[in-house]
């Protein structure tokens, strides 16, 4: 049985539209206007046990709405949906005990309690047997190396330390499915790497199915062999992550900071994104990025230079507009 199954899944938000000001408020009492916003459209998705799938797309693409339907937070407008054989929005306890959700911008921890106290609370909420609880706490505490933090109030922990505790709390009851929405948002590079290592270990050793939404492409590339790209509520790609980036992520984003005010000459194959006398940011084709970086370091006095993958929004737009034959890329393009 598939862990997650959807077919022709749709979510339409029906919202009230009001003109601004007092006049608009009064007018709306007698003549209400409504608008429909399609958040998810005809979405087909199948995820098998033990998979780690990256759900990616630009802001407003429909990723979080999809996750909220899969976890029962909101109900779909139409279509089929199943998680571990259950209809999520019924919110049956049998299903809720088999999945967990961690949102990078929302906490399920109690800030005035210590991490240990929070663990004990969730032990009771999920009716976790004492032996299972002790074993899991010991396993995750060692994996994350957070033993010294267990008796500290959650509010005194750093953002990275709190996220580690969020993940431990989410996994204490051995969920079959873990939903992650931007789990590394706001974290430094070291904390991001620790989170990724932890999640990879959990996926491999415990067989936990992971659905990850993230704007950090390194998260997806390191963790998820498979990626699903969402644009305007539709699935526009479903296939291997390597093929996704190899086919569509054509550019590197280069950031250059000069030691002094500098007149920068745009290199061949580069497109300027932002420029000032002290700093320039530009995209350059991957094939020419090494050469361009070498030329810049030789010809300019630099305070710093860095290269990163181009923004995911640009990649999604490229996928959506190129209309590549699905047989050729092993994915879905609408």
Query: Where in the chain do CATH 3.40.50.300 domains reside?
Result: 4-98+175-246
* Residues in contact with 134: Cβ distance below 8 Å, sequence separation at least 6, in sequence order: none
Query: Where in the chain do CATH 3.30.70.250 domains reside?
Result: 251-309
In whole angstroms, give the CA distance from residue 171 to residue 241: 25
Listing DSSP states for 95-148 in one string gives HHTTEEEEETTB--S-TTSBHHHHHHHHHHHTT--HHHHHHHHHHHHHHHT-GG
Q: Which two tokens stand for residue 198?
A: 């932890």
Task: Note whether 207 and 51 are within 8 A (CB).
Answer: no
State residue 332's pLDDT score: 52
Nearest to 252 by CA among 307, 199, 294, 214: 307
In whole angstroms, give the CA distance from residue 122 to residue 63: 27
Highest-scoring range by mean pLDDT, 130-139, 217-226, 320-329: 130-139
Q: Which CATH code, of 3.40.50.970, 3.30.70.250, 3.40.190.10, 3.40.1370.10, is assigned to 251-309?
A: 3.30.70.250
Q: pLDDT per residue over 112-164, tens digit each?
A: 999 999 999 999 999 999 999 999 999 999 988 899 999 999 999 998 899 89
Q: pLDDT per residue over 167-192, tens digit each?
A: 999 999 999 999 998 888 778 778 88
**What is the CATH architecture assignment of 4-98+175-246?**
3-Layer(aba) Sandwich (3.40)
State residue 302's pLDDT score: 94
Has residue 327 got a pLDDT over 70?
no
Has residue 19 got a pLDDT over 60?
yes
Nearest to 186 by CA among 105, 254, 68, 302: 105
pTM of the model: 0.78
- The β-bridge partners of 308 are 253
State residue 323's pLDDT score: 42
């Amino acid at each position: 049985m598939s862990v997650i199954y959807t077919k022709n899944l749709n979510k339409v938000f029906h919202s009230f539209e009001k003109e601004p000001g007092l006049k608009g408020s009064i007018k709306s009492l007698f003549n209400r206007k409504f608008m429909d916003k399609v958040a998810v459209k005809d979405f087909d998705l199948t995820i098998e046990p033990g998979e780690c799938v990256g759900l990616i797309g630009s802001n407003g693409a429909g990723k979080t709405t999809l996750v909220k339907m899969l976890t029962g937070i909101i109900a779909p407008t139409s279509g089929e949906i199943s998680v571990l054989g259950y209809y999520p929005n019924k919110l049956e306890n049998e299903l809720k005990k088999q999945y967990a959700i961690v949102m990078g911008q929302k906490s399920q921890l109690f800030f005035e309690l210590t991490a240990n106290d929070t663990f004990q609370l969730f032990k009771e909420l999920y009716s976790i047997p004492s032996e299972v609880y002790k074993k899991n706490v010991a396993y995750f505490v060692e994996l994350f190396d957070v033993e010294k933090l267990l008796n500290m109030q959650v509010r005194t922990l750093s953002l990275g330390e709190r996220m580690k505790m969020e993940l431990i709390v989410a996994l204490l009851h051995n969920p079959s499915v873990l939903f992650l929405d931007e789990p590394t948002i706001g974290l430094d590079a070291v904390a991001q790497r620790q989170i990724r290592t932890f999640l990879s270990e959990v996926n491999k050793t415990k067989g936990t199915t992971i659905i990850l939404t993230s704007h950090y492409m390194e998260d997806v590339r390191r963790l998820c062999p498979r990626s699903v790209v969402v644009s305007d509520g539709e699935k526009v790609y479903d296939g291997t992550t390597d093929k996704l980036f190899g086919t569509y992520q054509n550019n590197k984003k280069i950031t250059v900071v000069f030691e002094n005010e500098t007149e920068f000459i745009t290199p061949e194959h580069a497109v300027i994104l932002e420029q000032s006398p002290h700093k320039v940011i530009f995209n350059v084709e991957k094939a020419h990025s090494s050469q361009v970086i070498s030329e810049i370091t030789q010809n300019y006095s630099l305070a710093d230079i860095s290269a990163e993958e181009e923004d995911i929004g640009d990649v999604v737009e490229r996928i959506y507009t190129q209309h590549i034959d699905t047989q050729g890329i092993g994915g879905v393009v609408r």
